[in-house]
């Protein structure tokens, strides 16, 4: 009997020791966001399209694990890897503020498949005006759904605001695309294929600075490394906006700049001459292949918290910082989206 109870104690001790600690911070990404590799791993996991295939049961199971863990209850036998997997599955489907299940096509995991379909079709059907209108409209409708799905819980946007943004975004996108198409009427077929990419680049260069002109005028808050506010800087705003524009254009480049060359030579081949309807699926596939890598890698390019040397700030702000915080050489700011 003694031996039995000893064995029992040993077993329960072992399972206890193997139980996961409750101190893992699952509110934060799993990997260090201070490094490019850590950010890339994080965004590859967040945008993983396989997550849209998960069944309701699998989502519920992940949700249960995460809700329990947040209360300090560890599901027996859970390993650290399983916990992190559950966290990313949970985040992929449930809204961070409201906890509601999100619309399927508004989720991060749907970004790559949706985006590759839209981008691929936009690049295949760029020649006629109705097709351009249709795909610009589809893209903006998709953006509106993403905006709606991703609305913040504590300051919900009204249907009116969403509607206004939808109409003005669609008008702007259609106007840019039609304008560029008209300009490109007389260029070679190869150059013509880059019109969608040029439209994206032009739209980003115009829209983002326009949307954030307040920040350019009045500056954005800059802090020391411990988040103590040191003042506002327009120079920092310039850098933040430049980084956002560059990463948006870089994100679009692999998917929109490589396929045109391939398609242009493919269309001269017998295969596509015989099966012209194959060009849309091929284009979508090519864009998708590029996006699977480009989306997470470009999200990871610049850290959300960006930094800048004090010597590159406005002279007045430099003086102010040197006077009250002489040791500070670098300031930090949020680059925005």
Ligand X SMILES: *[C@@H]1O[C@H](CO)[C@@H](O)[C@H](O)[C@H]1NC(C)=O
| Residues in touch with ligand X (CB under 6 A) | 108, 111, 115, 118-119, 122, 139-140, 142-144, 146-147, 150, 165-166, 169, 173, 196, 200, 211, 248, 251-252, 255-256, 291
CA angle 220, 43, 238 (to 5 degrees): 20
CB contact set of 132 (below 8 Å; sequence gap of 6+): 122, 125, 126, 174, 177, 178, 181
Select 252 or 321, whichever has its Cβ closest to ligand X.
Answer: 252
CA 179 to chain centre: 28
Select 196 or 231, whichever has its Cβ closest to ligand X.
Answer: 196
Question: Rounded to the nearest whole angstrom, what is the least distance from the CB of residue 289 to ligand X in the complex?
Answer: 12
Torsion over CA: 209, 211, 212, 218 (sign) = positive
Select 15 or 168, whichever has its Cβ closest to ligand X.
Answer: 168
308 neighbors 333 (Cβ within 8 angstroms): yes
Whole-angstrom distance, CA of residue 201 vs CA of residue 251: 10
Question: Rounded to the nearest whole angstrom, what is the least distance from the CB of residue 5 to ligand X in the complex?
Answer: 53
Question: Rounded to the nearest whole angstrom, what is the least distance from the CB of residue 47 to ligand X in the complex?
Answer: 9
Select 68 or 166, whichever has its Cβ closest to ligand X.
Answer: 166
Whole-angstrom distance, CA of residue 124 vs CA of residue 196: 10
Question: Rounded to the nearest whole angstrom, what is the least distance from the CB of residue 262 to ligand X in the complex?
Answer: 16
Helix 36-46 and helix 80-93, axial crossing angle in degrees, nearest 10 = 60
Whole-angstrom distance, CA of residue 80 vs CA of residue 24: 9
Whole-angstrom distance, CA of residue 279 vs CA of residue 275: 8
Question: Rounded to the nearest whole angstrom, what is the least distance from the CB of residue 170 to ligand X in the complex?
Answer: 7
Select 78 or 258, whichever has its Cβ closest to ligand X.
Answer: 258
Select 135 or 332, whichever has its Cβ closest to ligand X.
Answer: 135
302 neighbors 249 (Cβ within 8 angstroms): no
Question: Rounded to the nearest whole angstrom, what is the least distance from the CB of residue 102 to ligand X in the complex?
Answer: 9
The position carrying tokens 């596509």 is 272
Select 47 or 318, whichever has its Cβ closest to ligand X.
Answer: 47
Question: Rounded to the nearest whole angstrom, what is the least distance from the CB of residue 50 to ligand X in the complex?
Answer: 16
């Amino acid at each position: 009997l003694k031996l039995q109870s000893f064995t029992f104690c040993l077993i329960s001790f072992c399972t206890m020791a193997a139980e996961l600690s409750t101190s893992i911070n699952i509110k934060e990404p799993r990997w260090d966001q201070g490094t490019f590799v850590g950010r890339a791993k994080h965004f590859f996991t967040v945008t993983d399209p396989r997550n849209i295939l998960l069944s309701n049961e699998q989502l519920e199971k992940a949700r249960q694990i995460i809700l329990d863990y947040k209360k300090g209850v560890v599901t027996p036998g859970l390993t650290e890897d399983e916990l992190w997997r559950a966290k990313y599955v949970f985040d992929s489907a449930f809204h961070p503020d409201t906890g509601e299940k999100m619309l399927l096509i508004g989720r991060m995991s749907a970004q790559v498949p949706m985006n590759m379909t839209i981008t691929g079709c936009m690049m295949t059907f760029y020649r006629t005006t109705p097709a351009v209108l249709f795909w610009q409209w589809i893209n903006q409708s998709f953006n509106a759904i993403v905006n709606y799905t991703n609305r913040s819980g504590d300051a919900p946007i009204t249907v009116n605001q969403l509607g206004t943004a939808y109409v003005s975004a669609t008008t702007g996108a259609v106007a840019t695309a039609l304008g560029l198409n008209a300009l490109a009427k007389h260029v070679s077929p190869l150059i013509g294929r880059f019109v969608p990419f040029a439209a994206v680049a032009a739209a980003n260069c115009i829209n983002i600075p326009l949307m954030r002109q307040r920040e350019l005028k009045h500056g954005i808050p800059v802090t020391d490394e411990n988040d103590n506010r040191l003042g506002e800087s327009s120079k920092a705003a310039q850098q933040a906006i430049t980084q956002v524009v560059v990463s948006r254009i870089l994100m679009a480049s692999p998917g929109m700049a490589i396929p045109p060359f391939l398609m242009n030579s493919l269309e001269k081949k017998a295969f596509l001459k015989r099966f012209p309807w194959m060009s849309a699926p091929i284009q979508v596939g090519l864009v998708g292949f590029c996006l699977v890598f480009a989306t997470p890698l470009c999200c990871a390019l610049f850290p959300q918290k960006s930094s800048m040397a004090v010597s590159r700030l406005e002279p007045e702000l430099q003086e102010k910082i040197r006077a009250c915080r002489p040791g500070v050489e670098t300031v930090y700011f949020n680059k925005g989206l």
